Each structure stands twice: as structure tokens, then as C-alpha cells.
Structure 1
Amino acid sequence: MNKREIGKSGIYASELGLGCMSIGTEEKQAETLLKTALDEGITYFDTADLYDFGVNEQLVGKTLRAVRDQVVIATKAGNRWTESKNSWTWDASKAYIKEAAKQSLKRLSIDYIDLYQLHGGTLEDPIDETIEAFEELKAEGLIRAYGISSIRPTVINEYVKRSNLSNVMMQYSILDRRPEVQALPILAENGVTVAARGPVAFGLLTSHWRDKLSKAAKKGVNWYSEPELESVLSTLEKNVPEGRTLNGLAFRYVLGHPAAATVVAGASSVEQLKENARAVREAALTEEEYKWIQDISKTADYDAHRL
């Protein structure tokens, strides 16, 4: 599988990354999925301290320890579980980020984190303090690079201006092209890459889209009406170029942007994981195919995510 550099970090990630939140908490199943990912050429693994109260990091670390020098491990911090563990609070302070990194390292049983990310962020955060935490962790050799996981253009702009971040993780797909207007241009100009999540848009950009249409239209792509979604998806499906598939178009479209480093997709079964890997291996889109997809779909604004 092809690899791309994360920002200017010198770290190279496979074009397909595994979103580890979906591997579950059963150790054997998680191990099977992680090893299948390795067999498929996936080298980028995304987790977070929030997932399953840290159990996800433990499972990822246990399986990947034997191939540590061959993989990129990305994790996140900023959300703190309450004592009751039924909700969490937000903490982007320097002290918390530095301590959270050390706790993640323990759970992962590794000496360093390849990409450490703020798991959200607002303009009300002590941004300079947060950046100091990342820079100190990097200087101490505990992380190799850092970034943020956010869809807020205002927050992204501040980190681009004030830090040396390498990467932004954000939702991006054919059906969610909001980043193309308000985030990706500034990232590409500054050598910051994107780890795109949600490439198949809640399953809409697969052959099973009809089963998911009504729910997804209300949930995650509400800038489309249901009739609009049906029209876009029907057009895509009926006109998929020879040798391509609908989900192949989905992955290759995202990877077609100059800022894209990797596409992070979850998988709860071996079959789903292998299908994602197959889709990513389809040929890069031609200019004509890329423009055709843009003509069919539409962009939108981050109306609800200004701060």
C-alpha cells in the first residue's frame, strides 16, 4: 500500500489508516482485526485515551508492540472521564496534556507516540499553553509529531498560525466537502496534512446506501435533503467508471486532495477491513473523474462550528 508523509514530520503513513475505535474490547477479535490490517499493508493506527476508558490503547499497544518500528501510532487527549464514567469533561491545559501523554504511553506500552493529537478544541482553550505541552513532549522524545482532531476552521487556523503542528484529523468525504472551502487550502499552503475520517459518510458511499439513506440524511449530512442525497448517490452509482466501485470512488476522492495524508476508516469485521483496503488500492482518480464528482456533489459551511 502506498504511503504519504504526515506534514513535514518525516513520518510516513499508509494511505488507509485503521480507526481503532471500532475494534471492540474482546481481545481476540481486536487482535485479529489489527493483524489483518497489517497483512493488508496498513501502517497507520488511530486510537485515543477516551476509547473504552483506555482499553482501546491497551489492545492496540499489545498487538502492535512486535512491529513497533513498522507502524505509526496516533492517539489523542483532551477529554477526561468523570469519576462515574458516564460522561467526560474537556481539559486542554498544559499539565493535563503532558500527564495524559504519559498515561497513554503506559497503556500502549511504548516509548514514544508517533502522532499526538488534541481531541477537539475551541477558541476558549489556552491554545499557547496547549502548544507548549506538545512542543515539550516532542523535545522530551515522548512524541514525534503533533496535531489536532477538529472540524472547527477557526481553531484550525489558530494552530496553523501559532504552532508547528503536522496534521489535522477531520471528517471529509464526497458528501462532506466542507473542508475544501474553509480548512484544506490553508493546510495545503502551510505543509500541514489531513487524516480524513468518515470517507464513506455513514455507509452512504457504499453499495448499501439505500438501507442507510433516511437515517444518515438526518444524522450527519443534513446540508442535503433526502431527495438530494438520493439523486447524488443514484447518479454516482449509475455512472461509476469501468474498473471502479462506489466506495473506491469515495476513498480515492479524498486521497485526491493535495493535503490528504491518509484516510482513516473503522472496521468491525475482517471482511469490511479487506474491502476498505481493496477500495484504496483502486487507481487514483483522473482529473475528469475528480471534476465529475465535484459537479455532482456540493460544498457546505460549518455553520454550527464557529468557535
Structure 2
Amino acid sequence: MKLSDMRTTVEHNSIYSDFSFRVLPVIGKRVFRMGIAGNYGIDSSDVEWAADQGANYWVWGAGFKKVTAGIKEVIRKNREKNVVSSLGWGFFGWQVRQSIEKALRKLNTDYLDIFKLGWLGRTSTDSRGVVDSLLKLKQEGKIKAIGASIHDRKRAGKLALDSELDLLMIRYNAKHTGAEEDVFPYLKKRTPCVVSYTALAWQQLINPVKDIEMAPWPTSKEGVKIPPLTPELCYRFVLSNPHIHLVLTGPKNREQLRMNFRAIQQGALTPEELDWIRQYGKLIKAKKKFDYI
């Protein structure tokens, strides 16, 4: 079933609709809850295919050359339906302005829905000069929302509580659930948008691991082999958390993209399934001594 066809169906099913779509704070647009990052292999034809299925959240950066033409075409057809999230860097206000205005020219659009400071604290700062420049660009209508990708969860929690950031892009998956303590409790005051990435924990949740003992999968069917997890289960785990507005996917090809979209079609996980996946994630974290950041 196409997501575009599915959209008609979910309008009559409030639970499924809530799982599949969210209205983003500040931006005010209704988005399909799987955002597309075009820096892992897909090209412009895949972007246009994804848009035809119902996808409408696009991550773009200066190095995402293979998908630039596709994003330009998609937003040319219907700018107000689509969300363009640009990932940039900057230690100074002038760098941020330069990055945003260059993105506007590259994508042939009057505004970006979101400008995210990449790797806040490592390759970007939230200095007063940078923040003031972003607020000015927002006032000028060149961006609608200010965001940041950040790996320091405790700092992300503080920024969620009190900052000019409208959006936080954070790591969250079955192996890395620390945001549940460090970030999510601080969202209520300002309700920023929360975008999650690394749903598969860099493939660690979907690759076989020796000597893992788990109780049977709660909804086992004949022929289903779990563990390891499937990509669909990883994405559904993330999206079943009510604090997550959407999850990013970075597919290598259209088949992976098609497979990942199935996670949305399958809906939220049951409490028993969530508990099982959470326990599996803890085992994987204990097994993997080498961990990312």
C-alpha cells in the first residue's frame, strides 16, 4: 500500500493517524514521522519516489548533492506541504548566515523550515552571536525554526528547558535510552520538537550477536526469528515513544527505504514488545564494549 493511499485510510483511525503523522511545534506543519536523510546512498529519483508515497520531511546539507535536485523538485511542487531541515555548522554568526543563505540559493526556496546547528558543542556553538544571528534570520523569514543536533544528553535537557532552540535532534534507540532520563522529563515547559536518529544503533541492533539469551518474542509467529531485531522493530520502538515527533532514516537504496516505511504501516508496539526490545537493547549495550560517543 502506498503511504499516499494509507493517508486516506488513517484519517478514519485516530490511533494509527497519531502514530503516522505529527504536527511539528513552531513550524506548524503536519509531517510523516519518518524523515529522509539523503547522505547514505539514495538519489533524487528516490526522493521523488518517497514524496509520492507521502514522505515530506527532508534533511539536507551541503554535501547531500545526490538528492539536491530531488528535494528542489519536491518543494517546487508544494512548498507548504514539505519540511526542509538544513544541517549546517558555525562558530560565528556570519558563518551561520552564510550557510543558510547558500542553502536557500541551492534549493531555490525563500525559507528553510529548520536550520540545525550540527553537533552542537563540537562543530557548532550556541554563543550569543550565533543565537542572535539565528533569531534575526528567523525574524527575516529565512528560517522558521532553530534546531541543533547534540550528543550531550544532560546539556540537551537543559537546552530543552531553557534556550532559543525550537528543535533537538538526539540519539535514541533501544541500546541508547538515556534520553528518557536526561531529556524527555524537561520537554514539557517549552515543548520543543524532538527528532531522533540512529534507530538501528549503527546496525548493532539488527546484526546477529553470539551468546544472547532472551525469552521468546511476545508475538512470535512460525518462521519469525528474533533476535536480532529487524529495522522495522527498531523504528517502531523509537516512534512508540510519545516524546519523539519523528525519526530519521538514512537508507542506502530504495529497497531499504521501502522496507523502513513498513514500520509506519505496522503501527505502535505493544507494552510487552517494548519491554522485550528494551531488555535486548540492554544486553547489546553490555556486549558492545566499543560504543559511539
- TM-score between both structures, scaled by the size of structure 2: 0.78
Change over 3 Å in CA distance of 1:10–1:263 after alignment to 2: same
Q: Which runs of 5+ in 2 are unaligned?
A: 4-19, 286-290
Residue 158 of structure 1 and its aligned partner are, at CA, apart by: 4.6
Q: Which runs of 5+ in 1 are unaligned?
A: 25-29, 79-90, 214-226
CA displacement, residues 120-151 of structure 1 (integer Å, 9 cap, x when unaligned)? 12299352222212211111011111211111
Q: Distance in 2 between matches of 1:272 and 1:304?
A: 23
Contact 2:161-2:189 within 8 A present in 1 as well? no
Match of 1:260 in 2: 244
Match of 2:159 in 1: 159
**Alpha carbon RMSD of aligned pairs, Å?**
2.8
Point out the structure with the larger helix share: 1
Q: Distance in 2 between matches of 1:240 and 1:33?
A: 35
Change over 3 Å in CA distance of 1:188–1:59 after alignment to 2: farther
Contact 1:138-1:145 within 8 A present in 2 as well? yes
Residue 69 of structure 1 and its aligned partner are, at CA, apart by: 2.6
Match of 2:49 in 1: 36
Contact 1:150-1:169 within 8 A present in 2 as well? yes
Identity of aligned residues (%): 22
Matches within 5 A, 1:152-301: 152-206=152-206, 209-210=207-208, 231=212, 235=214, 239=217, 241-242=219-220, 246-298=230-282
Q: What one-letter code is carried by the residue in structure 1 that aligns with 2:56?
A: T
Q: What one-letter code is carried by the residue in structure 1 that aligns with 2:78?
A: V
Residue 240 of structure 1 and its aligned partner are, at CA, apart by: 5.8
Q: What one-letter code is carried by the residue in structure 2 that aligns with 1:278?
A: R
Contact 2:24-2:245 within 8 A present in 1 as well? yes
Contact 2:161-2:190 within 8 A present in 1 as well? no
Residue 162 of structure 1 and its aligned partner are, at CA, apart by: 4.2
Match of 1:99 in 2: 98
Residue 13 of structure 1 and its aligned partner are, at CA, apart by: 2.0
Count how many residue pairs are aligned between Structure 1 and Structure 2.
Answer: 261
Greater CA drift, 64-73 or 133-142:
64-73
Q: Is the counterpart of residue 112 in structure 1 residue 122 in structure 2?
A: no
Q: Distance in 2 between matches of 1:289 and 1:189?
A: 30
Q: Distance in 2 between matches of 1:141 and 1:56?
A: 27
Contact 2:29-2:81 within 8 A present in 1 as well? no
Comparing both chains, which one has the higher relative contact order based on Cα–Cα distances under 8 Å and sequence gaps of 6 or more?
1
Please give the secondary structure, in 1, of the residue aligned with 2:86.
strand
Residue 56 of structure 1 and its aligned partner are, at CA, apart by: 5.1
Change over 3 Å in CA distance of 1:290–1:77 after alignment to 2: same
Contact 2:24-2:193 within 8 A present in 1 as well? yes
CA displacement, residues 164-223 of structure 1 (integer Å, 9 cap, x when unaligned)? 3222112211122232222232235531232111112223344xx23xx5xxxxxxxxxx
Match of 1:72 in 2: 83
Change over 3 Å in CA distance of 1:142–1:98 after alignment to 2: same
Residue 4 of structure 1 and its aligned partner are, at CA, apart by: 0.9
Residue 57 of structure 1 and its aligned partner are, at CA, apart by: 6.6
Change over 3 Å in CA distance of 1:148–1:292 after alignment to 2: same
Please give the secondary structure, in 1, of the residue aligned with 2:106.
helix
Match of 1:216 in 2: none
Q: Is the counterpart of residue 48 in structure 1 residue 53 in structure 2?
A: no
Change over 3 Å in CA distance of 1:248–1:304 after alignment to 2: closer
Change over 3 Å in CA distance of 1:96–1:161 after alignment to 2: farther
Residue 256 of structure 1 and its aligned partner are, at CA, apart by: 1.6
Contact 1:93-1:126 within 8 A present in 2 as well? no
